[in-house]
């Protein structure tokens, strides 16, 4: 809050606000604001306390992740679930911390430092950036010492988990059984009984419609919606109005060359001739002769593409490879040395490396001594414009926030003073928006906030990406409401007809199954019910031409015994019903299963076994621990 006041509010208003803030500081001290929750207990684990402050921090992190993934503000019913996740995570961390301490597991300061320095979100242009690290933690309400302590706990817990995982294993018999089952083939016959005929005979009474309308009221709710008026200030718009001259751009480029100059890079193509590991001297010499022949033809005007096309496509003896821009030190040393001595368009002699013979041709060079102003002029102009516009942007943002604060019931004053238009949105809900701006989580959260929605005030500054600032207010509001019956009548009738026809069709299908079990022949069934049988031989579990419900049922019916068929049925998502007969099941021998599939099954089973072992261990810790969660404090 203080940061916002300092950055966005000036003049007598700022002085008044600061004076009001000083009063509680004088009586109770600044710790009154920052230490609330530090002495309140959220939970205890074997006597060790988890403070309310720790819970609040964990909850805010989870809440922000939820908003980032889902968008919009967090619904009331979701709040409780997120709070439960937060406290359970803290309890689990404390349990593991206690176990790790008792077991003497440790992580050195050097390991902590190395782990933190490797995290991508703390990287600057030259690697780990301490300023980014501290700013990121501060924005998340963290301190370096607290974050590093949590990293230590998590890394020690990972040691424990890895130790447990290493003890989990799956037997070869289990792997073989699953591999054979997955490769299983089945012969089936099935007939689909359509529900369309039943739908045509169904009439839905008005009282049924009303009963469904009342019983399933939540399905027919119109979510809370609102419209906003807003003023958007964008650095890009201000930058577009900045006048520039070529001399200014050249001067700016010269002063900031390090920002735009690239290391020398080369784009090239190569012919690669692989040298087998066990090649004889005679065969290797023959490859060199053939390679020299290719090089002579290239120097005579033949292109790499022409030579590649002349090869026998079934047995090519060299590869033609296109390489994108490369800087020094990326490719093999022998290639690197030659590549960066060639001129653009130049072709190398034969280059032999540990893997083969190469002919290199440079197609394009950029960067290094080839850096030019023309290559980066557009970026230079954009950066120059932004730099010139930045001061004006922050001045206008300051004025916008001040005017919106001084006139909380209208945006018109700010619009007229700053000559910025007031725009109006269409209706939108927390879950559905029709523009990029309205889909921004910050806009959704602010629009539905108590101060803006219920208080009727202008919002504080909403700072968006790409240097945009928005101030908004709600101009129209529709509370959550139930849709009128007439608006959903057809939807209800369609649903009820679907359910009734599905049930009638299932009954008919079960009747057919009973007849089959009583040894009524398929021919008689076909004649009596007018159904068509589909026969599938060697059906596999991943067959894409068979309805998934039919596949699932067919492969869950066991195996026929003594040449007797198995029979079952399945309701399909369409409301139709499938009568299914399984006549044969075949499993391959384990020797016939591809090794790659066995390896994949083993890896997956190992992961499942390890996960189950870890979950069982955590459950055992919970069961034997003295855990108290103080829900009233959360």
Q: Residues 359, 298: contact at Cβ < 8 Å?
A: yes
Q: What percent of the chain has pLDDT over 70?
A: 90
Instruction: Report pLDDT for 168.
Output: 61
Q: What percent of the chain has pLDDT over 90?
A: 42
pLDDT > 90? residue 137: no
H or E segment at 607? helix 595-624
Instruction: Report pLDDT for 476.
Output: 96
> Nearest CA to 459 among 399, 411, 415, 423?
411
Instruction: Report pLDDT for 165.
Output: 60
CB atoms within 10 A of CB 273: 19
The full length of the chain comes to 634
Instruction: Report pLDDT for 52.
Output: 86
The C-alpha atoms of residue 469 and residue 442 are separated, in whole angstroms, by: 11
The C-alpha atoms of residue 222 and residue 528 are separated, in whole angstroms, by: 48
* pLDDT tens digit sequence for 86-117: 899 898 888 888 887 877 777 777 788 888 88
- Identify which has the larger pLDDT, 212 or 606: 212
pLDDT > 80? residue 125: no
Instruction: Report pLDDT for 588.
Output: 86
The C-alpha atoms of residue 125 and residue 258 are separated, in whole angstroms, by: 12
What's the rounded mean pLDDT across residues 221-232? Answer: 94
Q: What Cα–Cα distance (Å) separates residue 594 from each residue in 55, 179, 183, 541, 585?
A: 51, 9, 10, 17, 20
State the pLDDT confidence band at 185, using cuts at 50, 70 and 90.
Answer: very high
Name which of 82-91, 120-129, 196-205, 220-229 the model is least confident about.
Answer: 120-129
Name which of 202-216, 329-343, 537-551, 586-600 the model is least confident about.
Answer: 586-600
What's the rounded mean pLDDT across residues 177-205? Answer: 90
Tell me which DSSP letter residue 51 carries: E
Q: Residues 271, 320: contact at Cβ < 8 Å?
A: yes
* pLDDT tens digit sequence for 29-82: 333 333 444 468 889 999 889 888 888 888 888 887 777 676 655 676 778 888
* pLDDT tens digit sequence for 496-530: 999 999 999 999 999 999 999 999 988 999 999 99
Instruction: Report pLDDT for 578.
Output: 96
- Identify which has the larger pLDDT, 26 or 136: 136
How many helices (H) and strands (E) are present in the chain, helices listed first? 26, 20
* pLDDT tens digit sequence for 562-613: 778 999 999 999 999 999 999 999 988 888 878 887 888 778 777 777 778 7
Instruction: Report pLDDT for 10.
Output: 44
Question: Chain-wide mean pLDDT for the chain?
Answer: 84
State the pLDDT confidence band at 12, using cuts at 50, 70 and 90.
Answer: very low
pLDDT > 60? residue 626: yes
* pLDDT tens digit sequence for 442-493: 898 899 988 899 899 999 999 988 889 999 999 999 999 999 999 999 999 9
Q: Residues 54, 42: contact at Cβ < 8 Å?
A: yes
The C-alpha atoms of residue 630 and residue 632 are separated, in whole angstroms, by: 6
> Which tokens in the block code for residue 199?
């739908």
* pLDDT tens digit sequence for 230-283: 999 999 999 999 999 999 998 988 888 877 877 888 899 999 999 888 889 898
CB atoms within 10 A of CB 126: 6
User: What is the C-alpha radius of gyration for the chain, rounded to an integer number of angstroms?
Assistant: 36
Q: Which ranges of 441-484 would DSSP assign to H, the alpha helix?
A: 441-447, 450-453
State the pLDDT confidence band at 140, using cuts at 50, 70 and 90.
Answer: low
pTM: 0.52
């Amino acid at each position: 809050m203080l940061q916002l006041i300092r950055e966005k509010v000036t003049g007598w208003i700022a002085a008044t606000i600061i004076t009001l803030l000083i009063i509680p500081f004088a009586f109770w001290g600044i710790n009154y604001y920052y230490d609330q929750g530090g002495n309140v207990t959220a939970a205890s684990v074997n006597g060790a306390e988890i403070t309310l402050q720790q819970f609040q921090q964990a909850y805010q992190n989870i809440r922000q992740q939820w908003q980032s993934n889902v968008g919009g503000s967090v619904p009331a019913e979701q709040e409780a679930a997120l709070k439960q996740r937060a406290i359970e995570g803290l309890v689990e961390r404390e349990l593991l911390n206690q176990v790790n301490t008792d077991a003497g597991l440790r992580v050195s300061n050097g390991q902590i430092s190395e782990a933190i320095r490797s995290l991508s979100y703390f990287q600057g242009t030259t690697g780990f950036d301490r300023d980014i690290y501290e700013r990121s933690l501060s924005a998340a309400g963290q301190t370096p010492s607290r974050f590093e302590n949590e990293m230590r706990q998590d890394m020690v817990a990972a040691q424990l988990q890895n130790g447990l995982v290493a003890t989990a294993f799956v037997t070869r018999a289990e792997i073989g059984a699953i591999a054979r089952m997955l490769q299983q083939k089945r012969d089936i016959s099935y007939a689909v009984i359509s529900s369309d005929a039943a739908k045509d005979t169904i009439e839905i009474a008005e009282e049924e419609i009303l009963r469904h309308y009342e019983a399933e009221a939540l399905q027919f709710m119109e979510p809370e919606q609102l419209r906003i008026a807003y003023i958007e200030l964008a650095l890009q718009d201000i930058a577009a109005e900045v006048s520039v001259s070529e001399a200014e751009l050249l001067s700016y480029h010269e002063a900031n060359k390090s920002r735009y100059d690239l290391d020398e890079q080369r784009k090239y193509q190569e012919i690669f001739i692989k040298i087998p590991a066990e090649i004889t001297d005679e065969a290797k010499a023959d490859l060199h002769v053939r390679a020299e022949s290719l090089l002579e033809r290239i120097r005579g005007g033949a292109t790499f593409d022409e030579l590649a096309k002349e090869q026998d496509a079934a047995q090519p003896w060299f590869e033609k490879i296109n390489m994108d821009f490369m800087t020094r030190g990326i490719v093999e040393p022998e290639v690197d040395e030659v590549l960066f001595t060639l001129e653009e368009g130049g072709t190398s002699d034969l280059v032999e490396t540990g893997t083969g013979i190469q002919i290199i041709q440079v197609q394009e060079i950029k960067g290094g001594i080839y850096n030019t102003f023309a290559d980066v002029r557009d970026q230079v102009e954009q950066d120059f414009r932004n730099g010139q516009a930045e001061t004006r942007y922050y001045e206008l943002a300051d004025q916008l926030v001040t005017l919106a604060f001084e006139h909380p019931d209208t945006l018109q004053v700010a619009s007229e003073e700053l000559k910025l238009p007031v725009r109006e949105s269409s209706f939108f809900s927390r879950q559905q928006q029709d523009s990029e701006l309205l889909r921004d989580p910050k806009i959704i959260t602010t629009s539905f906030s108590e101060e803006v929605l219920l208080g009727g005030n202008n919002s504080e500054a909403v700072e968006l990406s790409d240097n945009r600032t928005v101030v908004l207010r709600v101009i129209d509001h529709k509370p959550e409401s139930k849709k009128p019956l007439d608006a959903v009548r057809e939807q209800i009738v369609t649903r009820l007809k679907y359910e009734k026809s599905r049930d009638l069709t299932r009954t008919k299908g079960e009747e057919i199954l009973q007849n089959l079990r009583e040894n009524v022949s398929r021919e008689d069934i076909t004649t009596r019910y007018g159904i068509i049988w589909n026969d599938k031989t060697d059906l596999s579990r991943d067959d894409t031409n068979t309805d998934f419900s039919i596949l699932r049922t067919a492969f869950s019916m066991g195996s026929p015994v003594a040449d007797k068929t198995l029979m079952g049925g399945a309701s399909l998502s369409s409301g139709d019903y499938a009568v299914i007969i399984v006549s044969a099941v075949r499993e391959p021998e384990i020797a016939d299963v591809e090794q790659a599939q066995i390896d994949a099954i083993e890896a997956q089973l190992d992961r499942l076994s390890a996960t189950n072992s870890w979950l069982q261990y955590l459950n055992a810790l919970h069961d034997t621990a003295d855990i108290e969660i103080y829900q009233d404090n959360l």
